[in-house]
Amino acid sequence: MNNDAVKKITFRVQRFDPEKDRKPHFQEFTVPVKRGTTVMEGLLYIKENLDSSLAFRTSCRMGVCGSCGMLINEYPHLACHTQVEEFHSDKLTLKPLPNMAIIKDLVPKLDTLFEHHKSVKPYIIREDKEEMEKPTAGYLQKPQQLDEYLQFTYCIKCGLCIAACPTSASDKAFLGPQALGQAYRYCADSRDEGQDFRYAIVEKDHAVWNCHFAAACSEACPKGVDPALGIQLLRKGVAAKALGIKKTAAPATLATPPALAKPKIDVPEFTVEPK
């Protein structure tokens, strides 16, 4: 395609207005696209020129914020880093992500995703509460220890993996690939001591053992996180712990602050009391 050549593409968009509609329906728009036009730009064109009532989420427009996940031609994509040209088709079908509720049009309700994410305690847990509240130094970690979990830190919570997961399709209580992948991310972190808490959570019904390794989550992930791998490695840990053969390394130690260097400016006091 010539850089400036404009082509007309039909966007077949699923519409649903909770105040008017009983169930979703489709509406077609003709959108001019050229080389490099993303699906998101097409949607913005519709909103600006054709129908301002169209609802979709967008923020960063560069694949970082995880707002614009949607089904494009029956496959979950981030609209912002998917170009119209990729599909080699004159018609694109856009639907909201399945396996969650629809708020309006292409806007899925991500509440369950965030609740499940929170439920696996996605933060470093240390037994030394004092150090956690008022840190005095960083924790030492080798590059090899970082590699154990680095891949899983790239999760942007867009929900594409949940749209792809067959267990999430039928089981509303299933924690889902996102939360389970993040549970592994923190369990594999050498600075963390919260493994037992998380194992107790992921071992319950509707959690780690309800994954059947269809691996559609890893296929769909726009950030290369591979949640399916995280879940299998998490399972390895959970099973090894249950059988009493799990090796646990001592958690990372505090780095001694350099004696000679001084901070250039003082760390300011809290002006607002943390709740």
Partner 1 sequence: MADKGPHQNYLGMWGWVWGGNYKLERYLYLLHRITGLGLLLFGLFHLTVTTIFRVQGEAIWSSTISFLDNPLFRVGEFLVVAAFSYHALNGLRLIIQELGFALGKPVPPIYPFTDAIRRKRAWTLVTLAAIMVLAVAFFIDFTVRGWG
Partner 2 sequence: MKNTYLQISQMITGALVAVLLAIHITVQQWFVVLGLLGIKVADPTTWGSMMERAHQGSWVGIYIALLAFGLFHALNGFRNILLEINLSALAIRILTGFIIAFGVIFLILGTYAPIALFSSYR
User: Does 113 contact partner 1 by CB under 8 A?
Assistant: no
Q: Does 173 bind partner 1 (CB under 8 A)?
A: no
Cα(236)–Cα(239) distance, integer angstroms: 5
Give the DSSP H/E element, type plus range, for residue 13.
strand 7-15
Shortest separation between residue 183's beta carbon and partner 2, angstroms:
14
269 contacts: CB under 8 Å, gap ≥ 6: none
Provide the minimum distance between the beta carbon of 39 and partner 1 in the complex, in angstroms, as a whole number. 16
Query: Whose Cβ is closer to partner 1: residue 49's or residue 213's?
Result: 213
Site for partner 2 in 148-177 (CB under 8 A): 167, 170-174
Q: Does 103 bind partner 1 (CB under 8 A)?
A: yes
Interaction residues for partner 2, span 19-48 (CB under 8 A): none
**CB contact at 8 A, 202 and 208:** yes
Which one among 151, 178, 182, 195 touches partner 1, defined by CB under 8 A? 151
User: Can you tell me the distance from the alpha carbon of 237 to that of 247, in angstroms, rounded to the nearest whole number?
Assistant: 9
CB of 201 to partner 1, least distance (A): 19
Rg (CA), the chain: 23
Residue type, 193: E
**Residues 44-63 interacting with partner 1 (rule: CB under 8 A):** none
> With CB cut-offs between 5 and 8 Å by kind, which of partner 1, partner 2, none does residue 85 bind?
none
Say if residues 175 and 206 touch (Cβ distance below 8 Å). Answer: yes
Q: Using the rule CB under 8 A, which residue among 33, 78, 97, 187 binds partner 1?
A: 97
- Extract the tokens encoding 184: 């592994």
What tokens does 176 get? 């889902």
CA pair distance 102, 47, nearest whole angstrom? 19
Q: What is the side-by-side strand order in the sheet with 91-95? A: 25-33, 7-15, 91-95, 69-72, 76-78
Which residues make up the interface to partner 2 (CB under 8 A)? 167, 170-174, 203-207, 209-210, 238-239, 241-243
Contact footprint for partner 1 (CB under 8 A): 16, 18-19, 22-24, 71, 73-76, 96-103, 108-109, 147-152, 154, 163-166, 168-170, 172, 211-216, 218-221, 223-226, 228-230, 232-233, 235-236, 239
